[in-house]
């Protein structure tokens, strides 16, 4: 691979500069993304068209000096393949036609065949791997079982997660049944992504931080641990680095590291240096600039990049990223300022 800095940093090997990629790096803040989405018809049509999904995956790499590509897809493709009927409305967000709210609905769920209902995702992976031609690694991903369950039970985006949290306290066994089948589905899905050619995996536990610490250890963390174990015991799985990202989960970093993951994604509420001091070098850290800092002028963005790099100190085993996805109204030129500043300010040795 021409540029394997991202994989080297995840493994704790020396790097010449801190690698950087951006959550939601392909997306609406890029005019070329909006044009390709319009050509596809809709967001879901875009996900289901391997050539166009490949095109939007590559778009940010043409503009910015990024050290990794991330598969263009969505975490909600898995529950959609489980029969929930996903739609995405502009300004409303994702919706499921058939949310999961009782035992009958949980019992009816099966584990989708990644090369069946989800074949379009694997086709996209194979197309992107060919197009990348060993230039940079490709990251595959899935949602965490808990985060997927929030959408499956609520039926869409939620402010307070009332229905799914009520299920956790009223019918914990039912929620565990749901999380179990979702974890099986995600495990199969991620193994298939590895077989199709992704170089690394990330699990997005976007709503883990909405749980109390006991509930997090009961309803989110064990299912992510199961997924790490499933992936690591599969062919090629032991050499595929896995990043777990629980938004708002910095205070639980020790417990997250104990799953055997290779890296922990942190949002901007955590100090990379403090988490590093607590955990040592045994795990990589990813993050964690505030996505809103990209509203600032270039000089302020450079100062913020320098502050994130200074926080982690020696810069070892660090993958630079935002603490959550890039926002749709960010100026792409500001993203370029960030990416270039990361490389320039973290350069080590001869460069
Ligand atoms: O990071 C990347 O560039 C890869 C692509 C990617 C998307 N979604 C594309 C997308 C990834 C990794 C995701 C993950 C995802 N999807 C998460 C976890 C990460 C996070 O951001 O917290 C979640 C919670 C979702 C669910 C989801 N998908 C929501 C709530 C929405 C609507 C809100 C929004 O931002 O529009 C989506 C749609 C979505 N997923 C878009 C993109 C580019 C926007 C769709 C459009 O083009 O209109």
Q: Which residue has the tokens 């070892």?
A: 316
Please write the tens of the pLDDT for every residue from 201-240.
999 999 999 999 999 999 999 999 999 999 999 988 999 9
User: Going by C-beta distance under 8 Å and a sequence separation of 6 or more, which residues neighbour residue 26?
Assistant: 33, 56, 57, 59, 60, 70, 72
Q: Ligand 1: which of 38, 40, 75, 84 to mutate, most ligand atoms within 8 Å of CB?
A: 75
Ligand 1 center–CA 108 separation, angstroms: 27
Pocket of ligand 1 (CB under 6 A): 23-28, 37, 43, 70, 72, 74-76, 88, 93-94, 141, 157, 204, 206, 325
Q: How far apart are CA 65 and CA 56, in angstroms?
A: 16
Three-class SS state of 345: helix
Q: How far apart are CA 334 and CA 313, in angstroms?
A: 24
Please write the tens of the pLDDT for every residue from 238-297.
999 999 999 999 999 999 999 999 999 999 999 999 999 999 999 999 999 999 999 999
37 is catalytic: yes
Q: Look at residue 349 in the predicted model and tell me its pLDDT.
A: 66
340 is catalytic: no
Q: How far apart are CA 30 and CA 177, in angstroms?
A: 40
Options 6, 29, 33, 151, the catalytic residue: 151
β-strand pairing of 93-96 with 86-89: antiparallel
Q: What is the mean pLDDT of residues 327-349?
A: 96
The residues spanned by each domain of the chain are 5-346
Q: Just give the CATH number of 5-346.
A: 3.20.20.210
Evaluate if residue 351 carries a pLDDT over 60.
no
Question: For residue 114, what pLDDT band results from cuts at 50, 70 and 90?
Answer: very high
End-to-end CA distance of the chain: 20
């Amino acid at each position: 691979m021409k540029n394997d800095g991202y994989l080297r940093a995840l493994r704790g090997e020396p790097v010449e500069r801190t690698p950087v990629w951006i959550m939601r790096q392909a997306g609406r803040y890029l005019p070329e993304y909006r044009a390709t989405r319009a050509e596809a018809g809709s967001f879901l049509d875009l996900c289901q068209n391997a050539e166009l999904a490949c095109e939007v995956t590559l778009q940010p790499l043409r503009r910015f000096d990024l050290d990794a590509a991330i598969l263009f897809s969505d975490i909600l493709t898995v529950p959609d393949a489980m029969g929930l009927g996903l739609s995405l409305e502009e300004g409303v967000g994702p919706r499921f036609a058939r949310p999961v709210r009782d035992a009958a609905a949980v019992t009816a769920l099966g584990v989708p065949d990644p090369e069946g209902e989800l074949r379009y995702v694997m086709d996209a992976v194979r197309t992107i791997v060919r197009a990348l031609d060993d230039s940079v690694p490709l990251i595959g991903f899935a949602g965490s079982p808990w985060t997927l369950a929030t959408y499956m039970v609520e039926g869409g985006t939620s402010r307070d997660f009332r229905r799914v949290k009520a299920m956790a306290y009223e019918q914990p066994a039912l929620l565990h049944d749901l999380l179990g089948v979702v974890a099986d589905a995600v495990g199969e899905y991620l193994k298939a992504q590895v077989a199709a050619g992704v170089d690394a995996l990330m699990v997005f536990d976007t709503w883990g931080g909405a749980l109390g610490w006991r509930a997090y250890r009961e309803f989110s963390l064990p299912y992510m641990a199961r997924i790490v174990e499933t992936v690591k015991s599969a062919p090629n799985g032991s050499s595929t680095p896995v990043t777990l990202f629980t938004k708002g989960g910095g205070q639980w970093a020790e417990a997250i590291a104990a799953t055997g993951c290779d890296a922990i994604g942190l949002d901007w509420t955590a100090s990379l240096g403090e988490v590093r001091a607590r955990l040592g070098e045994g795990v990589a850290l990813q993050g964690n600039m505030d996505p809103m800092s990209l509203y600032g002028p270039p000089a302020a963005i450079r100062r913020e990049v320098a502050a994130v790099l200074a926080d982690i100190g020696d810069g070892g085993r660090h993958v630079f990223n935002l603490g959550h996805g890039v926002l749709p109204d960010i100026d792409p030129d500001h993203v370029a300022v960030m990416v270039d500043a990361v490389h320039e300010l973290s350069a080590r040795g001869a460069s």
